């Protein structure tokens, strides 16, 4: 473990942190159907995230209270947290107008915190991605209320990220200079993964690879070279599968190269990955694969599958100060298109 001085000498941005409002309206009642998350504050500083009557996750006050988060950031030497909602709040399955209403509620909440603590937090919005018109409308509003980008799921209902319904939203994000954070959710194969937390351990890394491959093969990066996209969890299983993916592209272009005939390896270094891989060799591998300027600290704060001491893995690496600086803030600043405060 590095000493406190050497940790604090690096300006540090955590691009992958989640936040919720302390009070969430009972959307089930409001909209007249179920599936939405609400919070049960059953004791001080703790709440249960409930989906209808089913328990989803226990959270503490660091999931909603910016003062508590600030204290913990000080403890971990994190200077700036990028806030995004919890993926279970995407609600892409709901009626688009209702998803929009919830997105506006969540986005206003994040924008309020960013405006109250502008040197501590930057914000990403959520959009009703199942409806491109409403999504673009809310994206434009996110820009106006001071958010730096958006967080989206690794797929949107039956659409992968190459789907033509989603392209106009990506195009608008590029135009509006809004970055995109892709987070796995609604994990594939979850019905076959009832035990051992497998949707999180197996499904999530596969979802991230699905998202990256869909954007590469679908030509999204090719058509939108200025779109700044970051993928959670070090890109999931994508980095370790890139050899197989390229080989597949070469031997079966009839299957892989139908929408974009450029080698998938050509896109390495054109999108960002967060650093959340929990393993020194894997972190070193992704840094070599996409470049230190495309790997940014992401901790999944405040959740237990995240890096519990944000930045610890990067600090423990035998890297030069310049490389650490890049991983801890340089690449995040480029992704966010922000200047250092």
CB-nearer residue toward Zn ion: 79 or 300 = 300
CB 92 within 8 A of CB 86: no
Q: What is the rounded CA–CA span in Å between residue 61 and residue 19?
A: 10
Please choose, from the candidates 83, 106, 84, the residue with its C-alpha nearest in 3D space to the C-alpha of residue 36.
Answer: 106
Stretch that binds Zn ion, among 3-11, 46-54, 119-127, 297-305 (CB under 5 A): 297-305
Q: How far is CA 134 from CA 27, 34, 140, 202, 211, in A?
A: 19, 22, 10, 32, 22
CB-nearer residue toward Zn ion: 63 or 142 = 63
Q: What is the rounded CA–CA span in Å between residue 248 and residue 179?
A: 30
Under rule CB under 5 A, which residues in 15-44 are in contact with Zn ion?
none
Helix (H) or strand (E) segment spanning residue 58: strand 54-60
**Conformation bin of residue 186: beta by default, left when phi > 0, alpha when psi is -120 to 50:** left
Q: What is the rounded CA–CA span in Å between residue 19 and residue 106?
A: 9
CB-nearer residue toward Zn ion: 59 or 136 = 59
Please choose, from the candidates 192, 188, 183, 242, the residue with its C-alpha nearest in 3D space to the C-alpha of residue 217.
Answer: 242
Question: Which string of x and - marks every residue 251-290 that binds Zn ion (by CB under 5 A)?
Answer: ----------------------------------------
Residue 204: CB minimum distance to Zn ion, A: 9
CB-nearer residue toward Zn ion: 47 or 245 = 47
Per CB under 5 A, 307 contacts Zn ion: no
Residue 262: CB minimum distance to Zn ion, A: 30
Residue 232: CB minimum distance to Zn ion, A: 6
Among 274, 300, 311, 315, which residue sits at the site for Zn ion (rule: CB under 5 A)? 300
Helix (H) or strand (E) segment spanning residue 180: strand 179-183
Residue 86: CB minimum distance to Zn ion, A: 8
Residue 264: CB minimum distance to Zn ion, A: 25
Per CB under 5 A, 101 contacts Zn ion: no
Stretch that binds Zn ion, among 24-32, 142-150, 263-271, 296-304 (CB under 5 A): 296-304
CB-nearer residue toward Zn ion: 176 or 198 = 198
Residue 306: CB minimum distance to Zn ion, A: 7
Q: For residue 11, what are its two tokens?
A: 């300006």
Q: What is the DSSP string of 235-269?
A: GTTHHHHHHHHHHHHHH-HHHHSSS--S-GGGGTT
Q: Binding residues for Zn ion, how many (CB under 5 A)? A: 1
CB-nearer residue toward Zn ion: 14 or 300 = 300
Q: For residue 158, what are its two tokens?
A: 């039956």
Residue 317: CB minimum distance to Zn ion, A: 22
| Interface with Zn ion (CB under 5 A) | 300
């Amino acid at each position: 473990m590095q000493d406190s001085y050497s940790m604090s000498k690096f300006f540090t941005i955590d691009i992958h942190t989640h936040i919720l409002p302390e009070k969430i309206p009972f959307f089930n009642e409001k909209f007249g159907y179920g599936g939405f998350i609400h919070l049960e504050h059953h004791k001080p500083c703790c709440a249960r995230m409930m989906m209808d009557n089913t328990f989803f996750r226990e959270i503490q006050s660091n999931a909603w209270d910016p003062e508590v988060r600030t204290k913990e950031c000080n403890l971990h030497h994190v200077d700036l947290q990028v806030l995004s909602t919890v993926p279970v709040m995407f609600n892409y399955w709901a009626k688009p107008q209702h998803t929009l209403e919830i997105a506006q509620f969540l986005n206003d909440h994040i924008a309020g915190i960013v405006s109250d603590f502008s040197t501590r937090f930057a914000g990403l919005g959520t959009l009703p991605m199942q409806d491109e018109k409403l999504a673009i409308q809310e994206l434009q509003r996110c820009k106006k209320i001071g958010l730096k980008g958006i967080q989206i799921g690794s797929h949107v209902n039956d659409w992968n990220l190459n789907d033509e319904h989603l392209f106009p939203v990506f195009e608008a994000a590029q135009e509006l200079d809004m970055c995109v954070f892709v987070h796995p959710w609604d994990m594939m194969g979850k019905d076959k993964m009832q035990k051992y937390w497998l949707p999180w351990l197996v499904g999530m890394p596969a979802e991230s690879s699905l998202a990256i491959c869909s954007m590469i093969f679908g030509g999204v990066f090719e058509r939108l070279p200025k779109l700044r996209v970051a993928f959670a969890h070090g890109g999931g299983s994508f980095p370790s599968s890139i050899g197989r993916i390229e080989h597949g592209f070469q031997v079966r272009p009839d299957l892989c190269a139908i929408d974009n005939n450029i080698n998938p390896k050509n896109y390495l270094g054109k999108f960002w990955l967060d650093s959340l891989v929990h393993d020194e060799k894997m972190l070193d591998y992704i840094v070599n694969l996409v470049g230190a300027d495309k790997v940014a600290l992401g901790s999944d704060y405040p959740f237990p599958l995240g890096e519990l001491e944000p930045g610890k893995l990067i600090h423990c690496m035998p890297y030069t100060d310049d490389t650490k600086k890049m991983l801890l803030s340089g690449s995040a600043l480029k992704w966010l298109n922000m200047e250092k405060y």
